Structure formats: C-alpha cells, structure tokens
C-alpha cells in the first residue's frame, strides 16, 4: 500500500480514485506542507497544486518517488533536485486549459467595458455612462503568444467575435496555423498590430523578461495586455516606463508568489486577480482526476509520459543533450523565430546513434521554449505531430570519422525553401559548434552571448561591426570570421559581454551588406 500526501484543496475525486486502488491517502488543505511532511515521513507520492516543493521538503520524505503537479506549470517544484534524489515529477497538461482560456475572454471583456469600475461607480450612486464608454472585442485583432492547449482554446472561444488572430509560436507549421484560421508572425508584429495581446508562454531562462520595452513601445495606444501565463515573462519595469504614454491596459492573474501581501504590479495593473485561471470547479476536478489516474498508471503500468524531469540513460553523457539543445537553438535563430520549421533532420555519429531518441527532446526544446528539455522522445514526437512538423533521423557514414558528433538540419517552407545545417561535438568537456552551413571548422564554444553576421565578403566589414558595438558599449570577448567554401561570403562570429539588442542589430544591417544577422544567448 503506497502512501499519498495531498497538502492542498484538491477535488475529492483524486482521493477516491486512489483509495479504490488501495492507496493510503492523507489530504489536508489547512496544515502547511512542511507540517504535513514532518508528520508523514513515509510519504511515497506527493500531489500538489501551487505548493512549493523545495529540497528541504524532498529531503524530509526519504521514501518519496513521485511528485504530481495537478496542473500544467511546475516552476514551484525543484525538478533538478528531485531528479538527483531519483524522484520523478509529473504534471497534468491540459487539465486547466479551458478554465484559463475562459478567463482570458472574461478579462478582455471586463477591460474593454469597464466592468469593475462601472460596478463600483454605480454602487456609489453615480451614473457615469459617458466616462465609461467602452469598446467592443468584435472585429478587432487579437495576438496570442503561445499556441499550446490554452492558446488554441482561446482561438476557439474567439470564433464568435469575428476577430483577426495573429499567433506567435516557435513550433507551429504554417499549414496548421492556416487550418486554425490564425496568421503566424513574429512577436513584434503581434504587439504592433493587435488590439489585445494575450500571453500563453512558460517562464524559462529563454522567456524570462521576454515581454519588454521594445515590444511595449510597438503597441497601439489603448491596447490590452493580458497575462495569465507566468509573472516572469513580463518585464514590469519596462511596462511601467511605457504604460502611461501608450495608455496600455494591463490585466494580470500571475505573480512571483501565490500568497497574501503587496504585489509589485499593483501600480501598473488595471485588473488584478489572485491567480484564478485554474480556479474553477471543473478545472479542479479535471486536474484531480488526471493526477490520480496518472499516479495509478505510473505504478501499475509504468506509464511515465508526463514525467518532466527524466534522467539520462547509462552510457550517454548529459553534455550531449545540452549540445543538441544548443545546436537546435542556433539553427532556429539562424532561420528566424517568426515562423516554424516544417522539417527537422538529424544525423548522430559514433556511439550517439544509440541514443537518438534521448536527443530528440532537447532538440525540440531548443526550437520551442514551451517544451521541457527533460521530456522524452514520445513527448517530443507528440508535440511535433501536433504542430505539423516532420522529423527524420538519417542513417550516417561513420567512415567520415566525425567521432561522437551530431548534425541538425531545419527546413522552413515559405514561398521558397530555407534550410540551415549545424554540426557540433564535445571537446574538452565543452559544447563545440564545428560547422554552420558551409562555414566549416568554426570551433565555437556554445556559451554566453554570440552575435552572428553573415555578409558578402569584402574588406573592412569586421571593423564596421566592431565600431558599432563599441559605440553601444558592447565589448568583444572573442571574434572569428570564416569564409564560405566558395569564398564569396563570410561569417562574423562575435562573442560579446552582453546581448546585442535589436537596435544594435539594425545599425549593423544598415552599415553592412548583410545576408543574415542574429544573436543567440547560450
């Protein structure tokens, strides 16, 4: 009989299903997780909502083997520490999606029609019809960042409003976007053209602070920004600096901590809710039911497809997973992030061929910030299929003596086919990029901030780029400039002490006959 601890107000269906399978269940929403863990040190399964599962909690439960987050986001759980303690962490993706999508529509309407202010004004005996003149959601443009479960449901719910939908998603094919009736585009285009922008991206090192000043400055006057995703994706100080001039209306439901107390966005949020996105009877039931069912299947059938912190198989150095992620990220940035690739082709040389399935997930994570790098090939393939992207693992010729290396090619179809090919390996325990397209023998360590400029080869270009960087107080840490095989193009690869912004990149593109210019932070 396995012992399950549920230290949260979760629908009783979870406990009922588990008890039916002879699990011992302790559920208490009043005591703290610390108190319950101390009182139940023999706990083997922990099912939580937004409770923080810290190293101390994990250490206090020596028999713990599984943590289930009844919901999608698991940033409150120390997944790496759990992995080190051989504890699997699961989530229940999709269980809360409809509840969050409906909240987005509610916030959009509340903001546009002054629902909250109108209620308090009328209760105070006022009659402010003229001042509270609103605007309609119908026939407007709505931008959605992130087309996962929630983003797609928002599109469905918007269907009755006859809106134009712009969508940003690094892993969504143009064909599928067209089938959904949305236009794929860059985040910049969304912020520039949308009357409403709603965020549905996870908080990762890649997306933290992603919604920043350059995007806010593009927004239409009076546009509505809705964040029901994660607090960290919005740069609050940047919004604070731009909000008044632009008249941006900010609706927020997410915070660094789910707890009482002052909120840092109180001065810039027009509507604030206490993280109510998943707080519906139906969502609570769905998440509880899924958490219990996944727990039962995990132990009885070995089903682990929702584990988000899978380990590394014997014989595979985890560095190669990091390499796969870095190469995919480089390739994605080379092609541009505004549209998804329609095909991924991989070649794994030497012993890496045996571990191709373990390397697919970090490749997908390098392309899409919403995908967890610790997931497995099954999860990766499911996401690619959902987004309409083909994956091909090619047979290799180890006679080329590339050692333990890998090549990742991305293909993007617009009116013409664009392709990028990158190869890399591990050298002296460092992630090494050895080739980018036909720029061979690159030998670039994938670390820090790197600015890439591909240009028609001619004298003096490096000096122009260096001068622009210097004028913008950006120091060059490392520099190399290989030629293409036909000697007609060159690639400036410049490591810098800080990230090269879009403004600086624009300056370089004006001063140099660039073929491609982009930056990557590894």
**Per-residue pLDDT tens over the stretch 385-425:** 888 899 999 999 888 888 999 999 999 865 556 899 999 99
Mean pLDDT (the chain, rounded): 93
Distances (CA, A) of 520 to 15, 160, 215, 260, 482: 47, 40, 19, 38, 18
Q: What is the DSSP string of 12-43?
A: THHHHHHHHTT-EEEE-SSS-HHHHHHH-TT-
pTM score of the predicted model: 0.78
Q: If DSSP codes are grouped into helix, strand and coil, which group holds residue 469?
A: helix
Higher pLDDT, 57 or 376: 57
- pLDDT above 70 covers a percentage of the chain that reads 98
Burial-class residue 147 by CB neighbours within 10 Å (0-12, 13-18, 19+): buried
Residue range 106-145, pLDDT digits in tens: 999 999 999 999 999 999 999 999 999 999 999 999 999 9
Q: Where in the chain is CATH 3.30.1330.90?
A: 313-445
Q: What local confidence, expressed as pLDDT, does residue 414 receive?
A: 59
Average pLDDT over residues 447-457: 95
Please name the fold of domain 97-272.
Rossmann fold (3.40.50)
- Look up the CATH number of domain 313-445: 3.30.1330.90
Closest CA to 225 of 262, 463, 235, 86: 235
Distances (CA, A) of 100 to 68, 177, 294: 20, 21, 22
Quick one: pLDDT band at residue 336, thresholds 50, 70, 90?
confident
Residue range 172-187, pLDDT digits in tens: 888 888 899 999 999 9
Q: What are phi and psi of 490, to 5 degrees?
A: -135, 160
Please give the distance of CA 16 from its chain centroid, rounded to a whole number. 34
Options 3.60.110.10, 3.40.50.720, 3.40.50.300, 3.30.413.10; which CATH number does 3-94+281-301 get? Answer: 3.40.50.720
Average pLDDT over residues 466-470: 96
d(CA 406, CA 353): 9
d(CA 521, CA 451): 9
Residue matched to tokens 């373990």: 358
Q: Where are the alpha helices (DSSP H) in 302-394?
A: 318-335, 356-367, 377-387
Average pLDDT over residues 468-476: 97
CB 90, CB 299: distance < 8 Å: no
d(CA 200, CA 226): 9
Q: Which residues contact 237 (CB under 8 A, 6 or more apart)?
A: none
Q: Where in the chain is CATH 3.30.70.260?
A: 448-522
Report domain 448-522's class.
alpha beta
Residue matched to tokens 């499911």: 382
Distances (CA, A) of 40 to 3, 12, 24, 64, 203: 9, 20, 11, 11, 32
Q: What local confidence, expressed as pLDDT, does residue 501 receive?
A: 86
Q: Where in the chain is CATH 3.40.50.720?
A: 3-94+281-301, 97-272
Q: What local confidence, expressed as pLDDT, does residue 19 receive?
A: 97
């Amino acid at each position: 009989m396995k012992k399950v601890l549920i230290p949260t107000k979760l629908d009783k269906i979870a406990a009922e299903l588990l008890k039916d399978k002879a699990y011992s269940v302790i559920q208490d929403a009043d005591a703290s997780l610390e108190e319950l863990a101390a009182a139940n040190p023999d706990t083997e399964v922990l099912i939580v909502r937004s409770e923080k599962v810290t190293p101390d909690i994990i250490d206090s439960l020596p028999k713990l083997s599984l943590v289930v987050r009844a919901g999608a986001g698991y940033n409150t759980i120390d997944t790496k520490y759990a992995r080190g303690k051989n504890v699997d962490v699961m989530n229940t993706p999709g269980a809360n999606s409809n509840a969050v999508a409906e909240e987005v529509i509610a916030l959009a309407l509340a903001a546009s029609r002054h629902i909250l202010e109108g209620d308090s004004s009328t209760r105070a005996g006022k009659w402010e019809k003229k001042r509270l003149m609103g605007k309609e959601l119908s026939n407007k443009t709505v931008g959605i960042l992130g087309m996962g479960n929630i983003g797609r449901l928002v599109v469905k719910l918007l269907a009755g409003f006859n809106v134009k939908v712009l969508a940003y998603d690094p892993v969504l094919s143009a064909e599928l976007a067209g089938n959904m009736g949305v236009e794929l585009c860059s985040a910049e285009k969304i912020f520039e053209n949308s009357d409403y922008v709603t965020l549905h991206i996870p908080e990762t090192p890649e997306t933290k602070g992603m919604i920043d000043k350059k995007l806010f400055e593009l927004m239409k006057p009076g546009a509505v920004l809705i964040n029901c995703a994660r607090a960290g994706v919005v740069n609050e100080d940047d919004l604070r600096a731009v909000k008044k001039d632009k008249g941006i209306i900010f609706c927020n439901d997410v915070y660094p901590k789910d707890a009482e107390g002052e909120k840092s966005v109180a001065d810039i949020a027009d509507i604030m809710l206490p993280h109510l996105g998943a707080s519906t009877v139906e969502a609570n039931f769905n998440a509880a039911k899924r958490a219990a069912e996944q727990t039962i299947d995990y132990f009885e059938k070995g089903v682990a497809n929702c584990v988000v912190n899978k380990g590394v198989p014997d014989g595979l150095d985890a560095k190669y997973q990091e390499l796969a992620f870095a190469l995919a990220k480089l390739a994605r940035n080379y092609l541009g992030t505004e549209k998804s690739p329609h095909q991924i082709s991989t070649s794994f040389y030497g012993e890496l061929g045996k571990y191709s399935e373990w390397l697919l997930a970090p490749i997908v994570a390098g392309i899409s910030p919403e995908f967890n790098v610790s997931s497995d090939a099954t999860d990766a393939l499911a996401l690619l299929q959902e987004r309409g992207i083909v994956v091909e693992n090619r047979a290799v010729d180890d006679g080329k003596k590339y050692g333990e290396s890998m090549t990742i090619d991305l293909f993007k179809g617009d009116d013409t086919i664009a392709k990028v090919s990158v190869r890399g390996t591990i050298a002296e325990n460092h992630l090494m990029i050895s080739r980018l397209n036909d720029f061979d023998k690159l030998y670039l360590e994938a670390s820090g901030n790197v600015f890439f400029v591909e240009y028609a080869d001619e004298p003096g270009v490096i000096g122009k780029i260096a001068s622009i960087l210097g004028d913008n107080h950006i120091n060059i840490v490392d520099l190399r400039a290989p030629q293409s095989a036909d000697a007609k193009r060159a690639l400036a690869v410049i490591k810098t002490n800080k990230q090269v912004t879009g403004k600086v990149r624009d300056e370089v593109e004006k001063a140099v006959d660039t073929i491609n210019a982009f930056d990557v932070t590894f």
